[in-house]
Amino acid sequence: MNSKQISQMLKGILEGCLLALIAKGEIYGYEMIEKLEKHGLTMVKEGSIYPLLLRMRKGKLVEVIEKSLPSGGPPRKYYRITEQGLKELEEFKKNWAVLSSSIDNLLKE
Amino acid sequence: MTLSKESTEFLDNLRVYLFASGKNEQEVDSIVSELEDHLREAESKGKNIQHIIGSSPKEYMEQLAKELDFDYVAAMKYVPMAIIGFLAFVILGDALRFEIDYSWFELVGYPVVALLLIAVTMGTFKFLAGRQWKRGKQMALLTGLGIFNIGAFLLLIFLSDKFGTPVFVLNQTGQWIVIAISAILLIGIAILIKMWLPIVLPMALYGPEVILKWSFLQEWLKWDDVMITFVGSLIGYAILFVYFIVQIRLLNKKEERSS
């Protein structure tokens, strides 16, 4: 697998994937990576989700709730989707459907 | 489970990098602690830091920095404070030697040099944080920074002696007033930033010389001005050295307690 090509391709769609994960329920950073891996997205560089999460937070697509851990230490940040985030996710799903079917078509010929 | 040395170093460097880029302190703390949480969990599952941030820490730091806003509020608070503190420090030194006579050159030059040094110092720390240099190489660059800072002043004083004519001279009462105002400003800044440095620094660098010049000590020691300046600076550097050692110890203890 050409990892450079994949990371270039992922750049635009990782945000949509994260939105989809967060839409399923409150979740923290490391859990997102585990879920992505479970869906086969093992090529995502783990740290790369944090700049995206910062941007999504600034764009009010997600919000953060801090929860203290039973083991002590600083509280853990859980992400939750907002109304605006849900709208963005719908948009992403539509766009992805169009894009993926068009490219599939193109490659099949 | 404790974090590996590489991860701890990366988090420390990230913090410095983001601060030196003028990012908000709370936001910096927030993202650093989130990454610490992630690294802890990842390391406990046997992953190493390259797996998480990729091969270039600097590139990753820059990606994070791009998503955080420049903290104008803090800059508006700290930059004037740094300049005022710096000027109060210089003026206090001159006033204690009763040497307040400034040329235009110095009146304009000091604030300009202060701004330049703040920018260069922040830039240097940001530069260092993004690179994994060996300690020796780091110290060499920081020593260079120190020499540059001192050099900028010496150049200013030299040029002023050569070309500047005093436009601003104070009498003795005036000098005492200046001493009082400078001291109040420095104490005020120390309280605002909750650090002893703005008080300790002038006390260490000016205090010994002032005390050695007390008339009864001078009669007893019979030292000339050069000797007094020399011994005074030695005592001053010794005080600063002890102060920094104590600070580092305190910081280490605080970190041990929090982890």
Residue-level pLDDT at B259: 54
Higher pLDDT, B161 or A108: A108
Residue-level pLDDT at A39: 93
> Could you give the C-alpha distances from B104 to A48, B43, B112, B159, B172, in angstroms and in order?
53, 60, 12, 11, 21
Residue B230 lies in a domain: yes
- CB contacts of B255 in chain A (<8 Å) are none
B125-135 pLDDT, tens digit each: 888 887 777 77
Cβ(A74)–Cβ(B33) below 8 Å = yes
Minimum distance, in Å, between the CA of residue A108 and any CA atom of chain B: 34
Mean pLDDT to the nearest integer, B34-49: 92
Residue-level pLDDT at B1: 64
Cβ(B163)–Cβ(B105) below 8 Å = yes
Residue B257 lies in a domain: yes
Minimum distance, in Å, between the CA of residue A107 and any CA atom of chain B: 31
Residue-level pLDDT at B255: 65
Nearest to A30 among B31, B42, B60 (CB): B42
B95-136 pLDDT, tens digit each: 887 777 788 888 888 888 888 888 888 888 888 887 777 777
Residue A101 banded pLDDT, cuts 50, 70, 90:
very high
Tell me which residue has tokens 């590139």.
B59
Residue-level pLDDT at B117: 85
Residue B113 lies in a domain: no
Cβ(B58)–Cβ(B163) below 8 Å = no
Domain count, chain B: 2
Whole-structure pTM value: 0.72
Residue-level pLDDT at B129: 81
| Contacts of A83 by beta carbon, 8 Å cutoff, 6+ apart | none
Query: Percent of chain B having pLDDT more than 90?
Result: 17
Query: Percent of chain A having pLDDT more than 70?
Result: 98
Higher pLDDT, B143 or A13: A13
Nearest to B67 among A28, A29, A54 (CB): A54
Query: Range of A43's domain?
Result: 3-108
B212-239 pLDDT, tens digit each: 887 777 778 777 778 888 888 889 889 8
Of B30, B37, B1, residue with least CA distance to A46:
B37
Q: Residue B127 CB: number of other CB atoms within 10 A?
A: 14
Cβ(B199)–Cβ(B102) below 8 Å = no
Residue B120 lies in a domain: no
Residue B14 lies in a domain: yes
- Compute the count of residue pairs across chains A and B with CB atoms less than 8 Å apart: 49
Residue-level pLDDT at A98: 95
- Kindly identify which residue of chain A lies nearest to residue B28, measuring between CA atoms: A54
- CB contacts of B38 in chain A (<8 Å) are 29-30, 33, 46-47, 50
Number of residues written out for chain A: 109
Residue-level pLDDT at A99: 93
Residue B126 lies in a domain: no
Tell me which residue has tokens 């851990």.
A69
- pLDDT tops 90 at residue B184: yes
Rounded CA separation B100/B91 (Å): 8
CATH number, domain containing residue A92:
1.10.10.10
Q: In 3-state terms, what secondary structure has residue B98?
A: coil
Sign, CA torsion B38/B39/B40/B46: positive
Mean of the per-residue pLDDT values for chain A?
91
Residue A87 banded pLDDT, cuts 50, 70, 90:
very high
- CB contacts of A74 in chain B (<8 Å) are 33, 36-37
- Contact: A77, B53; criterion CB under 8 Å: no
- Contact: B67, A45; criterion CB under 8 Å: no
Where is average pLDDT lowest: A37-51, B49-63, B220-234? Answer: B220-234
Residue finishing a domain among B38, B67, B96: B67
Domain count, chain A: 1
Residue B102 lies in a domain: no
Residue B187 banded pLDDT, cuts 50, 70, 90:
very high
Residue-level pLDDT at B256: 67
Higher pLDDT, B134 or B14: B14
Q: Please write down the HEC assignment for all residues of A33-63.
A: HHHHHHCCCCCCCHHHHHHHHHHHHHCCCEE
Residue B256 lies in a domain: yes
- Contact: B54, A47; criterion CB under 8 Å: yes
Query: Range of B217's domain?
Result: 195-259
> Quick one: DSSP state of residue B23?
B
Mean of the per-residue pLDDT values for chain B?
85
